[in-house]
Amino acid sequence: MRCWGERIRTMFGVKVLRLVLGIGFGCWALPCFAAEGTTAAGPIGGPDIRSAFLPRPGLYGAFISLGTTTDQVRDGSGHPRAGLDAVGIQAITAGAALLYVPDLDLFGGSIGFAGVFGGGLICGQIVSTKPSRCQSGFGDSYVEMSWSRFFGVTRPAREKGAFGIRQGLAISAGLGGVLPSGQYNPATQASNGVTVGKNIWDIAPTVAFTYTTPPLIADGTEFSTKIYLNNYLTNSATDYKSGSLVDVEFAISEHIGRWQVGAAGYYLRQIADDRQYGIPIAPDGRRVEVLSLGGVADYAMADIDASIKLKLRSTVFAYNSATAQTFILTFAKKLY
């Protein structure tokens, strides 16, 4: 009974750390938690500013680097999880993204096709009886098709080197998917909560809205959000199925010359129970709820069709999840 109890506690820690290390690693972001290794759809680090916009037709590329640390796993009441006495996970991720926007008008808007691929190193442990271990390799890939339409006007930039500001409302809808193409190691996952791939398919419809005001404070205030509905298939190695997860990514920022700066974060809420062998996981279905907040700063280099962005965020509260501190640095450029 003692060994079985330790196994149950370890499995819970694995589930939590994989969502946390999932929001960033396999899909443009790094950590949350409800599933026994769930990841959330989206780019590494998650969307934030201008999330409903597609750029003008062309091919775009981005390089993303991300680092995250977590040192606590919370239970369904928001308290430190009993039995996980040595939680400490560190992860470093690097990835590339491609976005193709064809020169095509569809219902007054444009369409885009994106792909995100990355890999990295994850090290750590969750119980003192299991020493820290590391795993490196390629993470899961993410693909997305989206449609976007803008209702407004584009104002010319006041400062040389800045992009024009699209004042008004933009809307977007799409479909994304996490492909379980990453390196998956069920042994280190079970013992340490460490694995690069998740071995779980995730299909996620999306909607997004971005609204930019006329100049009120500086050059315009932007309100942006993108919502994912993550639907998971069963992990074939463990017969574990994570419940559907709503992921609301958001940012409020100000355009100031070449800069766009503000607050950014995400809110996650699981709307269905986790199940293993078809049975809901006691006592609460391991339903996750997480709020993470931080800041974002983007610097435009319109003369070379590029930008660089830094985002920092930290967990405010977490239920059936882990707390995490994350930074994301992104360089993006129009290739042609």
Domain count, the chain: 1
Rounded to whole angstroms, the Cα distance separating 299 from 260 reads: 7
**What local confidence, expressed as pLDDT, does residue 10 receive?**
41
pLDDT band at 38 (very low <50, low <70, confident <90, very high): low
pLDDT band at 196 (very low <50, low <70, confident <90, very high): confident
**What local confidence, expressed as pLDDT, does residue 87 receive?**
85
Cα three-residue angle 313-317-322, rounded to 5 degrees: 80
Alpha helices in the chain (DSSP H): 2-20, 186-192
Tell me whether residue 56 is exposed, middle or buried, using C-beta atoms within 10 angstroms of its C-beta: 0 to 12, 13 to 18, 19 or more. exposed
Q: What is the CATH number of the domain that holds 325?
A: 2.40.160.40
Q: What is the pLDDT averaged over residues 131-136? A: 86
Return the amino acid letter for 222.
Answer: E
Expressed as residue numbers, the domain containing 288 is 2-334
Q: What is the DSSP letter of 219?
A: S
* DSSP secondary structure letters along 246-274: EEEEEEEEEEETTEEEEEEEEEEEE-S--
* DSSP secondary structure letters along 298-334: EEEEGGGTEEEEEEEEEEEEEESSEEEEEEEEEEEEE
Q: Of the candidates 233, 86, 207, 218, which has an alpha carbon nearest to the alpha carbon of residue 155?
A: 218
Cα distances (Å, whole numbers) of residue 291 to 67, 223, 264:
18, 18, 11
H or E element, residue 65: strand 58-73
233-249 confidence digits (pLDDT tens) = 999 888 999 999 999 99
pTM: 0.88
Residue 310 token pair: 């830094």
pLDDT band at 192 (very low <50, low <70, confident <90, very high): low
Under a CB-based contact definition with an 8 Å cutoff, are residues 174 and 228 in contact?
Answer: no
- Percent of the chain at pLDDT > 90 equals 62
Least confident of 104-108, 195-199, 218-222, 331-335: 195-199
